[in-house]
Structure 1
Amino acid sequence: MADKTSSVDLVLDALGGTGRYQMFQYFVCMFSALSASFQLLNIVFVGRDVAHTCKAPVNTSDIYLITDNELIQANDSKISFEKCNIRVEANISGNISTSKLSCIYGYEYMEGKDTSLMSDMDIVCDKEHLQGFAQTLLITGQGIGAFVLPTFSDRYGRRPLHFVSHLCFLGFGVGVAFAPTYTVFLVLRVVLGFLQQGIVLTNITITIEIFPSRHRKLSGLLTSMIWTVCNAFIALIAYLMQTYSWRTTQLVYCSVSLYVFVEFFLLDESLSWLITNNKTKQVTKNLKKAARMSGKDCHTVLNVYKKIQKQHESEKSLTESLLGSKDQGVNGKTETVKEKDKTKPSFLDLMKRKRLAANVFVLWFVWITDSLTVFGLFMTSYSLVGSPHVNFVLYSLLEAPAAIALYFTVDRYGRKKTSVALHGIAGVALLAATVCKFVGEGSLWSPIAVTVFSFIGMFGASGAWGTACLFTPEMFPTNLRNFGLGTSSAFSRVGGMLAPFSSLLAEYVEWAPGTIFGVCCLLATVLVNVLPETMGRELPQTVDDVEAWHKKTDDKEAKEMDTFPMARPKGPMEC
């Protein structure tokens, strides 16, 4: 029996599969990834640490008057202006007496006070623990947005949510550059995180739905490559803006969001959403435009759509007849199909079925792990050997080979095996980096080995996350797809919120961050096996479609066990 999902694939194939219209719409949509990625990771440079010392007063002798040590006040002393203390030392009868003062006169920054957000607002020394909140609160906003916004996307369409989010994102991005206090900055970062999810989640959904099922991996490859370029540009802009105020740098980063005014006239609604929600008039209009752009015969494309619509109507009439007869025979009354159509799938439908609920929980854990690992590695890039700008770019560029590996494996070996392999690579590499750091402490080879294994870990983690981005939308029916992707993305923010504090944890337990990253990745390799394989399957329309995948897998395994009795578990009497 045909369904609306298969009709989408047939229509997209009639347009050429990867025709000019589809590729044009893909790149129109994905150009907004510049906006989303810039505000997500620019804090690495906008909020970087700037070398500083305590500021000296106009009259240095004033320092003697405020020390508690009377002997120091009475003797000539040596004053040192350190990073977070003013050290006052005096040689008294051969003994060194020391007194420490806080930076009561403020701070002296080596590169200029307004170079970084943290130096501009004096978020250093006793306030240093507040630095991590700049990223944590943005990711908190992402989590809230991932839970709230997908409902609007599934109900009103991908396009309206995308534009509203992008436009507001521009406004609040400019607002961040003029934040008068750190508190205001943090509040605006929460809002940016919330709106960023409106851009990212609709991007993923639109670009997945714009190609037929056999070309979905192309979307995954292109998306990963585009994010690689976007992230690399973050470091490039930061390098070119080193001598400018962080506020000017922030304006440069958010200026790319002006693209929203161009995008408004170019981006169309997802055909998958329009067809599933019976927006026949808009589907017809968009198909005519798509056929002209792709060089396809307009009538041929429309005939494909109309033929499938007629098939749906005949199937619907048959279903109505059968349901009506059954309801009237059992209940003595007829339930109209119009009333049945009002019953739409909800997320609770997934939670009520054990196998499907297990899928959801595994996906959530995978997203948490991938987010924690990738963001944790980005946030600690400055601790590796070499320039932090170069390390950041290298980390970003590693997503390119990961995406290429993903492209050639997901349709050959499947989503599950690809995810298992990449999580395994990340887990082993990061644990190896931790061991090298611990065993080779103080040696020449240790920093190099740690850097190499960390890069391998980033390769595996970013590739695994790319697999999850492709895998997750395929696991949910159409009217829950954006919501399912949104909840998974929301749970990933748990990892993202913890990632900024990984460097703080390393100061107390140096081996802890790498161990946590590695163990979580290895655990993900085990849990992914719970999920059904989606390779070669069309996007599901209903919850029953997803559950049917499990039933087919169970039936296949049962047949294999009957065919090969030696592989069948032995009963008590067979031992």
Structure 2
Amino acid sequence: MPKVHTEVDPLLDALGGRGRYQLLQYFVSKIYAFSAAFQLLNFVYVARNIPHTCGQPSNISDIFTAIDDDTFTINNSNIYYDKCGIRVVANISGDTETKQLPCLYGYNFAERKELSIISDMEIVCDQAPLKGLGQTLLIVGQGLGAAFLPIFSDRFGRRPIHLLSHVIVMALGVGVAFSPNFTAFLVLRLILGMFQQGIVLTDATIGIEVFPTKYRKLVAFLSNISWSSCHLCLPLVAYLLRDYSWRILQLGCTSVSLVIILQFFFLEESLRWLVANGKPKQIKKLLKRAAKISQVDYQHVLDVYASLNTGQEETQKDQGGSTSKEQTASLLTDPVVQTVDDETHSLLDFIKVRRLGLNVAVLWFIWFTDSMTYFGLYFTSDALAGDRFVNVVLLIVVTMPSSVAIYYLVDRIGRKKTCILLHLTTGFGLVGATVVRELMGNTGAGAIISTVFSCFGFFGAFGAFGTLFFYTPEIFPTNIRNVGLGTSSAFSRLGGMLGPFAGLLSEYVTWGPGAVFTCCCLAATAMINLLPETNGKELPQTISDVKAWYETNNGEQKMDAKVKEKADQKTE
């Protein structure tokens, strides 16, 4: 069987390249970021700490009954209601003695109890360690969702999984608001995290597949800016709802998911996925609709598609002819022509090839490192001290310039060098902040200088994440692209779960978190050199397309002889 052309860029160019259709699809898909960002970060406000002290009994004598010591009386004792205990100090024969009681009579909160789930359900004192589970379990859910949902996306298409995940996230968001207890809250957050990744990863793939190769850096720039912009909207919503209960705030954050209505009407399936999976009827309908939106000639688009599938593009140029409508219709309904490749498409087949399997291992480690570093910096910084609204805005604003850096660097110096530069920046910030904190302390000038270095760390970590989200899909072929991105994201969640423990490590070894993060960043920087450079290359449709990158060409690495022999046999 002759090899079928797998290029899709000429077809996207025929639709306008960066035409109205592509822009519509991109921006309609990007509105997901409101749902994903709000559910991921609203825990800062929904579960904020409200100062409290132990509650007072209706009858003071009850305290002395609980002490059960006749030497402690109302006349010789002073009672102090501390944060997590009742302290009774008595003057007994000139000596001071103290008795400690737990908060037997509930708690008094500095603000209305229902403003936070932590105060509302009294997750304080002995139960305070449970608070972190609300965010940790969501990250665990993200890892599970990233590992499994992309399989269905590659099998059944980007659109159905994206919409289904979005609907479930909205439903679970409402469910969280009506949680009867903290256990239900945690379970719902876990499941919500799974489907939050369903919309995040399918959107990342849709964004990279809807534009031709030359516009990928624009995709990365707009994706990072849209994500940061949605983050900036969260403090505004939280501020407007600051006087309402945490349940109302949760419903307010979930209400942004109503944008899914627009996606139901305007979001289309990925053209690359349809071509890779041989869907002629859907392709014909999509091309017709896309040509109308982009205001281009529909017949010309069909001619380009037909020439790509039959390998007649150059012949038509020489003859000055074009494909007839009858020929085009035949090509569009011929399931054999639509078959991109007869090889099995799975991540297992991809990693069986030694060189390609190494790419996967490197990507998994880099994703793990970036997530651990970013969340580690977040949880060990003082970014959320003071005003909880202003400081979150400042933290996000610090990371936004990295999106601009990505836009100007990825095409000029390539994906690999951009990743290397951003990881080095992160390492520089981590080393600087750690050294200054150790030598100058974390007060006065030392605090200011270490904060500046920490900002470099945030800048690099956020930029590295942004680059990976469009660099990773470029390395995998279409039918396992979302699986490749999903498994990489799953490994990043492992890092995200470890990141918060950096605060615990710093209590024992102050320089420990900086040392661990720096070593991982330096290791990732070295390992990036093993990845292929995808700058200027069309997205691979098949595993054979990726293998071809390593064939002997101008001194490039030679593909394994056995693999090449098998590939040649398949081609024949």
TM-score > 0.5 by shorter chain = yes
Letter in 2 for 1:542: T
| TM-fit CA distance, 1:340 | 11
Offset from partner CA, 1:146-168 (integer Å, 9 cap, x none) = 11111111111101111111111
Change (3 A) 1:442 1:202: closer
Change (3 A) 1:520 1:390: farther
| TM-fit CA distance, 1:276 | 1.1
Q: Is the 8 A contact 2:159 2:269 kept in 1?
A: yes
Change (3 A) 1:485 1:112: same
SS at the partner of 2:441?
coil
Q: Is the 8 A contact 1:425 1:457 kept in 2?
A: yes
Q: Say whether residues 1:377 and 2:382 are aligned partners.
A: no
Letter in 2 for 1:95: D
The separation in 1 between residues aligned to 2:47 and 2:371, in whole angstroms, is 20
| TM-fit CA distance, 1:313 | 12
| TM-fit CA distance, 1:53 | 1.0
Change (3 A) 1:11 1:189: same
Letter in 2 for 1:526: A
Change (3 A) 1:293 1:338: closer
| TM-fit CA distance, 1:302 | 1.6
Letter in 2 for 1:181: N
Task: Tell me whether 70-79 or 247-256 shows the greater mean CA deviation.
Answer: 70-79
Q: Identify unmatched segments of 5+ residues in structure 2.
A: 315-335, 559-572
The separation in 2 between residues aligned to 1:361 and 1:49, in whole angstroms, is 40
Change (3 A) 1:303 1:312: closer
Change (3 A) 1:140 1:391: same
The separation in 2 between residues aligned to 1:97 and 1:60, in whole angstroms, is 19
SS at the partner of 1:387?
coil
The separation in 1 between residues aligned to 2:421 and 2:248, in whole angstroms, is 43
Which residue does the alignment assign to 1:262?
A: 262
| TM-fit CA distance, 1:59 | 1.8
| TM-fit CA distance, 1:364 | 0.7
Offset from partner CA, 1:190-228 (integer Å, 9 cap, x none) = 110111111011100001000011111111110000000
The separation in 1 between residues aligned to 2:195 and 2:431, in whole angstroms, is 35
Pairs within 5 Å for 1:421-460: 421-441=421-441, 443-460=443-460
Which residue does the alignment assign to 1:412?
A: 412
Letter in 2 for 1:518: T
Which residue does the alignment assign to 1:300?
A: 300
| TM-fit CA distance, 1:307 | 1.4
TM-score (norm. length: structure 1) = 0.88
Letter in 1 for 2:178: F
| TM-fit CA distance, 1:125 | 1.2
SS at the partner of 1:555?
coil
The separation in 1 between residues aligned to 2:58 and 2:435, in whole angstroms, is 50
Task: Tell me whether 435-444 or 123-132 shows the greater mean CA deviation.
Answer: 435-444
| TM-fit CA distance, 1:55 | 1.1
Pairs within 5 Å for 1:501-512: 501-512=501-512
The separation in 2 between residues aligned to 1:358 and 1:133, in whole angstroms, is 34
Offset from partner CA, 1:103-135 (integer Å, 9 cap, x none) = 111111111111111111111111111111111
Letter in 2 for 1:413: I
Offset from partner CA, 1:249-287 (integer Å, 9 cap, x none) = 000001011121221011011010111112122112211
Which residue does the alignment assign to 1:81?
A: 81
Change (3 A) 1:223 1:109: same
Which residue does the alignment assign to 2:359?
A: 359
Which residue does the alignment assign to 1:101?
A: 101
Offset from partner CA, 1:89-114 (integer Å, 9 cap, x none) = 12233332111111111111111111
Q: Is the 8 A contact 1:406 1:463 kept in 2?
A: yes
Change (3 A) 1:552 1:112: farther
The separation in 2 between residues aligned to 1:529 and 1:168, in whole angstroms, is 40
The separation in 2 between residues aligned to 1:514 and 1:368, in whole angstroms, is 16
Letter in 2 for 1:477: P
| TM-fit CA distance, 1:376 | 3.1
Change (3 A) 1:405 1:113: same
Which residue does the alignment assign to 1:150?
A: 150
Q: Say whether residues 1:57 and 2:60 are aligned partners.
A: no
Letter in 2 for 1:366: I
Q: Is the 8 A contact 2:5 2:310 kept in 1?
A: no
Pairs within 5 Å for 1:161-172: 161-172=161-172
The separation in 1 between residues aligned to 2:60 and 2:440, in whole angstroms, is 45
Q: Is the 8 A contact 2:277 2:339 kept in 1?
A: no
Which residue does the alignment assign to 1:140?
A: 140
Percent identity between the aligned chains? 52
Pairs within 5 Å for 1:68-467: 69-73=69-73, 76-311=76-311, 343-380=343-380, 382=382, 386-441=386-441, 443-467=443-467
Change (3 A) 1:163 1:243: same
The separation in 2 between residues aligned to 1:355 and 1:432, in whole angstroms, is 36
The separation in 1 between residues aligned to 2:221 and 2:477, in whole angstroms, is 23
Change (3 A) 1:363 1:13: same
The separation in 2 between residues aligned to 1:363 and 1:340, in whole angstroms, is 26
The separation in 2 between residues aligned to 1:25 and 1:393, in whole angstroms, is 29
Q: Is the 8 A contact 2:550 2:556 kept in 1?
A: no
The separation in 2 between residues aligned to 1:220 and 1:338, in whole angstroms, is 30
Which residue does the alignment assign to 1:333?
A: none
The separation in 1 between residues aligned to 2:553 and 2:83, in whole angstroms, is 62
Q: Is the 8 A contact 1:385 1:451 kept in 2?
A: no
The separation in 2 between residues aligned to 1:535 and 1:390, in whole angstroms, is 38
| TM-fit CA distance, 1:398 | 2.9
Letter in 2 for 1:397: V
Q: Identify unmatched segments of 5+ residues in structure 1.
A: 315-335, 559-575
The separation in 2 between residues aligned to 1:281 and 1:459, in whole angstroms, is 46
Task: Tell me whether 515-524 or 486-495 shows the greater mean CA deviation.
Answer: 515-524
The separation in 1 between residues aligned to 2:506 and 2:70, in whole angstroms, is 40
Q: Is the 8 A contact 2:39 2:254 kept in 1?
A: yes
| TM-fit CA distance, 1:338 | 12
Q: Is the 8 A contact 2:115 2:244 kept in 1?
A: yes
SS at the partner of 1:534?
coil
Letter in 1 for 2:16: G
| TM-fit CA distance, 1:353 | 2.1
Change (3 A) 1:348 1:395: same
SS at the partner of 2:549?
helix
The separation in 1 between residues aligned to 2:116 and 2:385, in whole angstroms, is 22
SS at the partner of 2:91?
strand
